[in-house]
Amino acid sequence: MDSGGGAELPPGLALSWGVHPIQRRGPKPALSVDQIVATGIEFGDNLGFEAISLQRIAAHLGVSTNAMYRYVSSKDELIVLVADKAWGRAPSEILEADGWREGSRAWCQAQVDRYAERPWLLEVPIRGAPVTPNLLHWLETLLRVLEGTGLSQHDMLGCALLFDGLARSYANLFRQLAASNSAPVESQAVGEFLVPQLVAAGYDKVLSLYMNQEYEDTVDDDLDFGLNRILDGIQVLIDRR
């Protein structure tokens, strides 16, 4: 689809906003974009990101793969539509938080929660700044949280990138650790092997961490620690305004 200025719109942009191409005369479509997207989300939730394909969805809905192109132009467009719908809108409770710090904390936690609910969203390729309605609703919500802090628009976008990066990094780490079959680093077997190696290598600081049970395969309070440091840094920036 052309934007009118000669440049082609990104896949899924128009459809995500409910702008459909003009239908040619002919039989009434047997499917809808909403059905296809809902099936894609179902596959992602139950089978993982790799299962979201035009071929699988077509087979599930009882149509040919070629017939799918009547509704979505490519797999890229399918993924954009499925991901935006799967994210949904940001929880309204975020805007009810007490102040920008708690609002930012609630926003970041809501992102982590959404990744926990749908881990396959971590595998969706990032192709640029968000332009679809639900992803932009998340951004709009955070910008409203930060409104009144005195931060410039540029700085508020920077905050959004920091919060988004922290949530994504934490969720990805949590997901991979949860799926790991390796013996935890704090286990007796690992300790009996690793401690002598640390001593021999002269890694005194790491050894101290390990012996004090601070070096573990857990991310219990890492999100709060990282988020608090980011919030403290933003507060310094606000105080300079």
3-class SS string, the chain? CECCCCCECCCCHHHHCCCCCCCCCCCCCCCCHHHHHHHHHHHHHHHCHHHCCHHHHHHHHCCCHHHHCCCCCCHHHHHHHHHHHHHCCCCHHHHHCCHHHHHHHHHHHHHHHHHHHCHHHHHCCCCCCCCCHHHHHHHHHHHHHHCCCCCCHHHHHHHHHHHHHHHHHHHHHHHHHHHCCCCCCCCHHHHHHHHHHHHHHCCHHHHHHHHCCCCCCCCCCHHHHHHHHHHHHHHHHHHHC
Mean pLDDT computed over every residue of the chain: 93
CATH of the domain spanning 13-87: 1.10.10.60
**What own/partner pairs with CB < 8 Å and gap ≥ 24 does 232-237 have?**
234/104, 234/149, 234/151, 234/159, 235/101, 237/151, 237/155
Residue 152 has pLDDT above 50, yes or no: yes
Rounded mean pLDDT of 81-99?
98
User: pTM of the entire structure?
Assistant: 0.90
Instruction: Kindly tell me the sign of the dihedral angle through the C-alpha atoms of 90, 92, 95, 100.
Output: negative
Give residue-wise pLDDT tens across range 21-43: 766 565 677 899 999 999 999 99
Average pLDDT value for residue range 71-97: 97
Q: How many whole angstroms separate alpha carbon 93 and alpha carbon 105?
A: 12
Whole-number pLDDT of residue 29 = 72
- Please report, rounded to a whole number, the percentage of residues in the chain having pLDDT higher than 90: 83
Sign of the torsion formed by the C-alpha atoms of 198, 176, 230 and 164: positive
pLDDT tens-place string over residues 193-209:
999 999 999 999 999 99
pLDDT of residue 241: 79
pLDDT of residue 27: 64
Band of pLDDT at residue 218, cut at 50, 70 and 90: confident
3 pLDDT exceeds 50?
A: no
Residue range(s) in the chain whose domain bears CATH number 1.10.10.60? 13-87
Mean pLDDT of 50-63: 97
